Amino acid sequence: MDKKYGVYICTGCGIGEALDVEGLSGIAEENGMPVKTHEAVCSEAGRQVIKDDMANDGVNTPVICACSPRVWKDEFNFGDETITVRANLREGVVWSMEKPSEERNQEVINEFTNELAQDYMRIACTQAKKIDLPVAHQQETTNRRILVMGGGIAGLTAAREAAKAGHEVLLVEKTDKLGGKALGWRRQLPTKAPWSGLEDSSIQELISAVETDSRITVKTGTEVARIAGAPGDFKITLKTAGTRTEWDAPFRVTVDMQDKIDKGEMEDPNQGFKPYTEANPDAEVVGAVVLATGWVPADVSEFEHLGHGKLNNVVTNAEFEKLAKEGKVPANVAFIQSPGGEDNDKDFPYANSVTSMVALKQASYVREDNPDGKAYILYQHMRTPGNMELFYKGAQDNDGIFLTKATVTGVEEEGGSLVVKAKNTLLQEDLDLQVDMVVLGAGMKPTTADASTINLSYRQGPGFLDLELFDGYADSNFICFPYETRRTGVYTCGGVRKATDMVETIDDACGAALKAVQCIESADRGVAVHPRSGDNSYPEFYFQRCTQCKRCTEECPFGALDDDEKGTPLPNPTRCRRCGTCMGACPERIISFKNYSIDMIGSMVKSVEVPDDDEDKLRIVAFVCENDAYPCIDMAAMRNISLNSLVRIIPVRCLGSVNMVWIKDALSSGMDGALLLGCKFGDDYQCHFVKGSEIADKRMANIGETLGSLGLEPERCAVRQVAITDYDKVSDVINEFIDEIMELGPNPFKGF
């Protein structure tokens, strides 16, 4: 694209009063870019100035120096053939301007503020020169059929909703009939007002609706052996449930396993099966996948003092439901919701609000079948969210249902009955309850927790990575992107995503079906799905320099890269979410995007003017994640929270995309420190790209060693974490790092 530039400086929102607009214009003109100013570039009149220049002068790369790039996105979108570059002068400079202090009076602050604005002008002009217009990836055909795995409430609902949206659906259920666990329910929890009583099961109506829908193909007694391909073109190999075929997905072979295989100490578990890059020519083709394989009762055998598996009539809630449907409900039953023992606040594994409501439901069975029956619910936590509070109150009003907070110390057998021993009740009394049966509130363990349910034919393995960190739930970002998994085009709903009652499961399934539809539409347009929804860029590889180190394939959070037969990365553009983690991983720097590249960001860093003779004017570059950290800084500015004017902020897609060469560029150009500011990682991770911040933290540890060998303090580089809500703390986080740099003093390479 032959670029024609135009720079448009807004003087509104305090920008014109606080900054030297003439000086900013001079920098743009030095870069060969004509400049115009306007009192409100975001207004209709201001935007018309830009449109007129496009029509009359051929401007196709406007550089808008005004407010944050996070606002007025649609207003500053001038079409697919135009590149718009934004310089953040409002939130990034004027609204976050430092306040006078003993160290810096107003005159000094004005000087520092204008230097900051001028650097942002240089950065924006450099970005405009280095950026290219991305062209969406177009696959030959996009299949619009949707695979739904699982024939329970979640799967049936997802299939029905996708069919209503006009999509063909392939519904696969491994048992010989549809309905899932709901087939075994005696009654179901309330789904409508007045929410106080149980309802007859509605599962047969849902099954009938699916079986009679001409858009839905149902295959029972069937499992998915293999999912190859990518969104819009998944190749699905089916098999008879319980069998194994040559097309089954490969096992995940770890480095230790491979070493043993190479030494002949163990057999290759994938021997005799097709390689993951090879697809069954007879496979079904679909555009997206909804994973609705549900849950299994969590194991309670570890709690030996409760007697499950040793004492007769000690059962789990799932086992009790079966007995209740058969009409075998004893007159006196204790429902234990927490295992007790040493940690008296602990719940059963995977216990949740649903297990609480199931206990109330099953206690109702006791009263329905036995006029004089008694149901004792012993709990540490009773959870009945939303309208289900009315159901809870209904149980409270039942004279034969007794609820109390208690620590169960043991279950014993005495004279043909069971005795539940408990202490520390709300009444501060020890209890010995003589009952006919004990029901343990086993939790709902997602099917993805134990084994590969999805059977992906991906280089990164057949399942989802690192699920042990999230109790086996296959989420991508549970808070921000529900239904998503680590594999683009695969969406979860129901018990495999989180513990849900029937109403929540139906809502969940509708959401997952909608996500699948959106994914297919995005794949057809060649644009990204969440979180960079609509982004039509994708990573490009200069394979001539590839060393097959496999860092990009290993570090990609979404399995967007396979290997070809030579071990060279094999991109799958429609799997890609455009985070750039592969770009940050590559030591040879052969991966780039048209509008986001090693060269572009590196040049932006180098464009910052670094004073080489003033210790009061240190320069710190901050690579700031666009998902949490950058909006956090913007929100701080909106509240007039000051930001240190020594820092130069460069937004990045994800900290995982930060290539360590940018750090070297910054320090070699004389900058005194480099800060990576991103999302939180660990148990409470908030990274929109799953593990970008964690990867960056590990990379920075390695570069710290390199800096030490060069005589530079490793402390000049750091990673810090902020949540999007930390707008009242982010300035302090940055200032603490700057204080550390101040103590170290100027970069000794400054001026060379």
On whether both 738 and 612 belong to a single domain, the answer is yes
pLDDT surpassing 90 at residue 542: yes
Q: What percent of the chain stands above pLDDT 90?
A: 74
On whether both 87 and 168 belong to a single domain, the answer is no
| Cα gap 451→462, rounded to integer Å | 9
Q: Is residue 236 part of a domain?
A: yes
pLDDT surpassing 70 at residue 751: no
Coil, helix or strand at residue 48: helix
| Cα gap 690→693, rounded to integer Å | 8
Contacts for 515 with CB less than 8 Å, ≥ 6 apart? 288, 483, 484, 491
Q: Is residue 680 part of a domain?
A: yes
> What is the spatial order of strands in the sheet that 233-240 belongs to?
222-230, 233-240, 284-286
Tokens of 404: 């109390």
Q: Is residue 545 part of a domain?
A: yes
On whether both 348 and 462 belong to a single domain, the answer is no
Residue 711 falls in which region: left (phi positive, over 0), alpha (psi -120 to 50) or beta: left
Q: Is residue 554 part of a domain?
A: yes
On whether both 616 and 750 belong to a single domain, the answer is yes
pLDDT in the model for residue 95 = 97
pLDDT surpassing 70 at residue 349: yes
pLDDT in the model for residue 465 = 67
Question: Predicted confidence band at 645 (pLDDT cuts at 50, 70, 90)?
Answer: very high
Tokens of 177: 């009939």
On whether both 292 and 303 belong to a single domain, the answer is no
| pLDDT tens digits, 582-636 | 999 999 999 999 999 999 999 999 999 998 877 778 999 999 999 999 999 999 9
On whether both 420 and 283 belong to a single domain, the answer is no
pLDDT in the model for residue 705 = 77
Pairing of strands 401-405, 374-379: parallel
On whether both 558 and 580 belong to a single domain, the answer is yes
pLDDT in the model for residue 682 = 73
| Cα gap 522→519, rounded to integer Å | 5
| pLDDT tens digits, 410-468 | 999 998 899 999 987 777 788 899 999 999 999 999 998 765 678 898 888 888 766 66
CATH number of the domain within which 610 lies: 3.40.50
On whether both 249 and 370 belong to a single domain, the answer is no
**Averaged pLDDT score across all residues of the chain:** 92
State the CB neighbour count (10 A cutoff) for residue 451: 10
On whether both 735 and 689 belong to a single domain, the answer is yes
> What is the spatial order of strands in the sheet that 620-625 belongs to?
647-652, 620-625, 673-678, 717-721
| Cα gap 187→364, rounded to integer Å | 10
Judge whether 516 and 510 are in contact, CB under 8 Å: no
On whether both 457 and 426 belong to a single domain, the answer is no
State phi, psi for 66 to the nearest 5 degrees.
Answer: -155, -115
Q: Is residue 531 part of a domain?
A: no
**502, 525, 548 — which closes off a domain?**
525
On whether both 320 and 356 belong to a single domain, the answer is yes
Q: Is residue 561 part of a domain?
A: yes
pTM over 0.95? The answer is no
CATH number of the domain within which 208 lies: 3.50.50.60
| pLDDT tens digits, 158-208 | 999 999 999 999 999 999 999 999 999 999 999 999 999 999 999 999 999
CATH number of the domain within which 584 lies: 3.30.70.20
Question: Predicted confidence band at 82 (pLDDT cuts at 50, 70, 90)?
Answer: very high
> By residue range, what is the domain housing residue 669?
596-752
Q: Is residue 533 part of a domain?
A: no
pLDDT in the model for residue 383 = 93
pLDDT surpassing 90 at residue 470: no
**422, 442, 462 — which closes off a domain?**
442
Virtual CA dihedral for 33, 25, 617, 611, nearest 10 degrees? 50
| 25 bridge partner residues | none
Number of structural domains in the chain = 5
| pLDDT tens digits, 114-169 | 999 999 999 999 999 999 999 999 999 999 999 999 999 999 999 999 999 999 99
pLDDT in the model for residue 467 = 64
**574, 592, 610 — which closes off a domain?**
592
Q: Is residue 140 part of a domain?
A: no
| pLDDT tens digits, 478-526 | 667 888 898 999 999 999 999 999 999 999 999 999 999 999 999 999 9
| Cα gap 503→428, rounded to integer Å | 37
Comparing CA positions, the residue from 302, 295, 306 lying closest to residue 443 is 295
pLDDT surpassing 80 at residue 287: yes
On whether both 267 and 207 belong to a single domain, the answer is yes
What is the average pLDDT across 288-311?
94
State phi, psi for 246 to the nearest 5 degrees.
Answer: -65, -15
pLDDT in the model for residue 417 = 92
What type of residue sits at position 508? Answer: D
